[in-house]
Amino acid sequence: MKLKYVFYIFFVSIWIVFRNNSELTESIYSTGIYPYIAIIQHYTWGWLPFSFGDIFYTISIGYILYFILRKGKNLWKRPLWFFDKLLFFVALVMFAFFFLWGFNYFRKPLSETLQIDTKYTEEELYKATQLFVNESNNLHKILTKEDSVKVDFTLSHKEIYKLAYQSYPLGYEKITDFVSIKSVKPSLYSTFLTYMGYSGYLNPFTNEAQVNGKLIGYSVPVTACHEIAHQMGYAAEDEANYLGYLSAQKSENQYFKYSASLFGLRYLLNEVYKVNPEKYDEFTSKVNKGIFKNYKEVRGFWMQYENKAEPIFKASYDAFLKANKQQHGIKSYNLVVGLLIKNKINN
């Protein structure tokens, strides 16, 4: 039997095993093998001041185009040969993706690990929302002194990245973290990411946390913390949202605390609106006007880059998440609400 067929059998076998056994994935991969992979990646690429992963993508895309142009004629002359090469290439890429990071999609849910019941009552939603309103207003007043003025984030992206990885580890016994160089960098494709509607992403092949370098306002600190959570092996978007919130909230920097609070408040207000629009109006009337100016600032940033292709990119990512056992797809970001509520009312 050819070696590549042994490789196919091996890869498919471990993929099936991990996909269907979250406890096994958690113990063998996510808390066993993966931390060592991540540490090696961080020490290999983390010290570079630029995104090696983005350069790797550029070279890879160039090579693929070269291969298609050079060998594409064989598609008609030798179709079996062409598809054999294509299948092997796709299998190698998929193996690298899952082995280097992607198997974390199949790990045990964070809510189970931390023993958090994410189901909540309407009263718990309202209680947590009020706490977020109070906290956001207090932080806003500390940073501006005036209710109607938006907070201006004076920190540079570089300063934010440094503060973001300093806000880890979180100190939770059951949350995996590791002492290493956490590589948070602006993406070389920031303009492209903006038109796609993405704030950032984790490169699974180099483990570099990529933040959209064009991003502005309150969303930058919590986004950087979110991408570090992905580096730690938490692939699910709601879990990265939650850990990103916790780390920004834990920071001693008031801008980070404000970023975390506005992040949580936005999610809870949206949830309140779905449940009771009148209650939503009641809560929003209590929020400082300057906070809504911060929301408007970020919303205005994204609106200027809206385009017809953005929904296609979002739909593609939605399909990708669903293919990796994230059944809610792109809506899984919103699943953070239950975690935020329980954290706020219990602490």
- Structural domain for 73, as ranges: 3-106
pLDDT value at position 77? 75
- Examine the pLDDT at 314 and tell me if it is beyond 90: no
Lowest-confidence region among 41-50, 206-215, 249-258: 41-50
Closest CA to 6 of 101, 98, 104, 95: 95
Tens-digit pLDDT profile for residues 158-207: 999 999 988 887 777 677 776 566 689 999 999 999 999 999 999 999 99
Token representation of residue 262: 């506005």
In terms of phi and psi (left: phi > 0; alpha: psi -120 to 50; beta: otherwise), the region of 265 is: alpha
pLDDT value at position 75? 67
Which of 106, 121, 140 terminates a domain? The answer is 106
| Contact indicator for 95, 13 with CB cutoff of 8 Å | no
- The arithmetic mean of pLDDT across residues 72-97, rounded, is 83
Judge if 63 and 175 occupy the same domain.
no
pLDDT value at position 144? 95
Judge if 55 and 131 occupy the same domain.
no
Judge if 29 and 84 occupy the same domain.
yes
Bridge partners, residue 185, by sequence:
210
Judge if 47 and 117 occupy the same domain.
no
Judge if 132 and 95 occupy the same domain.
no
pLDDT value at position 180? 61
- The arithmetic mean of pLDDT across residues 63-81, rounded, is 76
- How many domains does one find in the chain? 2
Q: Which residues contact 237 (CB under 8 A, 6 or more apart)?
A: 321, 326, 330, 332, 333, 335
Closest CA to 202 of 240, 166, 174: 240
- Examine the pLDDT at 1 and tell me if it is beyond 80: no
Sign of CA dihedral 268, 274, 275, 276: positive
- Examine the pLDDT at 244 and tell me if it is beyond 90: yes
Tens-digit pLDDT profile for residues 10-39: 999 999 999 999 999 999 999 999 999 999
pLDDT value at position 178? 67
Judge if 83 and 178 occupy the same domain.
no
